[in-house]
Amino acid sequence: MELNMNYFYITVHFHPIIDMPSMDLVSENTYRSSKNTRLYRKRSLYDCGWGQELGYEMLPPLCFIELIELVTKYDREDSLLFREREKMSNLLGAVSVIMQDHIEELINFLSEKIETDFFEDQQIKENFKWFAFDKEIAGAIGGIGQKSYEDVLNMYSEWCKMSLKVKQLVYGL
């Protein structure tokens, strides 16, 4: 997986955060990017507080491990300014898709990491805050439809058992 690839194009406040290429419709919900000629599909992505943002996800979709890699490898300090927004688009896209399509895998991943030194890395902590595990701390961001990510996670008993520990590790409560 190439970390500098545009796996996602996302809007913030419904305006593109990067120069979104024109997308030519190839077939039902499949588009070809004029920038890199790869195929994408339209989908709802991260809720930045104004409702779920629209964007594009590269096809074929990334698996959970690849999505988590985009989240853990995102490093704001390491990014060049002109690439920052593209990497941020990948981070927000990965978080969104994980929360929509891979919640059980995320819970299993977190359960394996909470007893390790995984969250001692400050950058990983910052990146995982985008999952908005606690809506009071996260504010209005992070949601699917009308539900916050915290509400979605609370539907899983495994999350309820470990949520306090994860919140302590991520937010330093």
CA 46 to chain centre: 7
Mean pLDDT of the chain: 87
| pTM for the predicted model, two decimal places | 0.90
pLDDT for the residue numbered 118: 96
- Stronger pLDDT, 93 or 141, i.e. the higher one: 93
Q: Is residue 3 part of a domain?
A: no
> pLDDT tens digit string along 10-24?
876 666 555 678 889
Sign of the CA dihedral with 93 first, then 99, 104, and 110 last: positive
At 171, is the pLDDT very low, low, confident or very high (cuts 50, 70, 90)? very high
Integer angstrom CA distances of residue 40 from 2, 26, 78, 85, 122: 16, 10, 27, 19, 32
Q: Is residue 144 part of a domain?
A: yes
- Total domains, the chain: 1
> pLDDT tens digit string along 117-157?
999 999 999 999 999 999 888 877 888 888 899 999 999 99
Q: Is residue 1 part of a domain?
A: no
Q: Is residue 36 part of a domain?
A: yes
Half-sphere exposure for 9 (CA within 13 Å, toward CB): 22
Q: Is residue 130 part of a domain?
A: yes
**Average confidence (pLDDT) over 36-52:** 88
* Span of 78-82, 101-105, 130-134, 151-155 with lowest mean pLDDT: 78-82
In the chain, the percentage of residues whose pLDDT exceeds 90 is 59
Q: Is residue 2 part of a domain?
A: no
Map the chain to HEC letters.
CCCCCCCEEEEECCEECCCCCCEEEEECCEEEECCCCCEEEEEEEEECCCCEEEEEEECCCCCHHHHHHHHHHCCCCCCCHHHHHHHHHHHHHHHHHHHHHCHHHHHHHHHHHCCCCHHHCHHHHHHHHHHCCCHHHHCCCCEECCEEHHHHHCCCHHHHHHHHHHHHHHHCC
| Separation of alpha carbons 150 and 138, rounded Å | 10
12-21, 52-61, 97-106, 146-155, range with greatest mean pLDDT: 97-106
> Which domain range does residue 78 map to?
8-171
pLDDT for the residue numbered 80: 45
